[in-house]
Structure 1
Amino acid sequence: MSDTDILNILEKSRKRNDENSITGILVYWARTRQFMQVLEGSEKAIFDLYEDIKKDDRHKCLKLIYSGETPERCFSNWTIGFSKFESIEKSKLEGVSGFLEKGFTDLLAGSLLGFNC
């Protein structure tokens, strides 16, 4: 996926998320061409967005890891924050070293299920 493709996704996502009071973060792991996303907002807004994401044929192996309420938003100032891991020093990303080494799929079964903001 090119940087232009990612910028187009971010531009569209930020507009829609702002209109629907959705916040969150999108992480792209270029080595395995995988995304991980955290979405925050009303149950209806998130459900509607997730349904649209499921319909998008660019997505393969889409998995919902967690759905539930939190006492406060973790990304309250971001309509969609973004990180592309290869462009960040690993030493500055405490707690994500397994993701950096293996990508997302290998970690689904365990460690990410207990993440905290």
Structure 2
Amino acid sequence: MRHICYTSLAPAMDRSMFEAVMEAACRRNRDRDICGIIAFRDGVVTQIVEGDERVDDLFERISSDTRHSNVLLVSRTRISERSFKTFRIGLMDPLDIAIQSIAIAQSKGISDPAYVHRAHRFAGGLAALSATPRGGSDEAVTQVSAVR
């Protein structure tokens, strides 16, 4: 099993576009037994996905998607069990997802200094980005049906 966390910018994406993309993505993820969580706020996307090797294919597809720019891989880790049993989407602060990824890695005993440094630097960058006024933001969380 794999655990991937990434962040990207999607400045042209608004709430309705995000929801439309997520509706299709949730169906595909459910069919591929991919679980996780995604956050979107003010044009910043942060996502954690978990599953088999198809998670790597998903990340490659996202990396080449023109709706995303500045795609940053925060972590790519092998896991023995999932942290997520469903796939959830939310219009919330992506920093919360970054912090959750760090906590998951630490709870699974991942102590690679390079990963820890990169993850904390990433979280710090998201905190700075979140503190920058960027216009109105919607915050709502939508639970999506179970994947498994």
Q: Same fold (TM over 0.5)?
A: yes
Among 44, 49, 58, the alignment partner of 1:39 is: 49
Against the structure 1 CA distance between its residues 70 and 108, is the aligned structure 2 distance closer, same or farther, given a 3 Å change threshold?
Answer: closer
Alpha carbon RMSD of aligned pairs, Å? 2.7
Instruction: Please report the TM-score for the alignment, with normalisation by the length of structure 1.
Output: 0.66
Q: For the Cα contact (< 8 Å) 2:75–2:119, is it kept in 1?
A: no
| Deviation sequence 1:32-61 (CA, Å, 0-9, x none) | x1110000000x201111111112111110
Q: Partners of 1:70 and 1:111 in 2: how far apart? A: 21
Match of 2:3 in 1: none
Q: For the Cα contact (< 8 Å) 2:74–2:122, is it kept in 1?
A: no
Among 33, 47, 50, the alignment partner of 1:21 is: 33
Instruction: Please report the TM-score for the alignment, with normalisation by the length of structure 2.
Output: 0.54
Match of 2:146 in 1: none
Instruction: Determine what percentage of the aligned residue pairs are the same residue.
Output: 23
Q: Partners of 2:39 and 2:86 in 1: how far apart? A: 16
Where in structure 2 are there 5+ consecutive unaligned residues?
1-12, 100-117, 125-148
Q: Partners of 1:61 and 1:2 in 2: how far apart? A: 17
Match of 2:92 in 1: 85
Matched residues, number? 92
Task: Please list every run of at least 4 consecutive aligned residues from structure 1 whose deviation after the TM superposition is greater than 3 angstroms.
Answer: none
AA aligned to 1:16 is R
Q: Where is the strand percentage greater, Structure 1 or Structure 2?
A: 2
Among 59, 66, 70, the alignment partner of 1:61 is: 70
Match of 1:48 in 2: 57
Q: Partners of 1:111 and 1:72 in 2: how far apart? A: 24
| Deviation sequence 1:71-100 (CA, Å, 0-9, x none) | 32121122xx112127xxxxxxxx84x98x
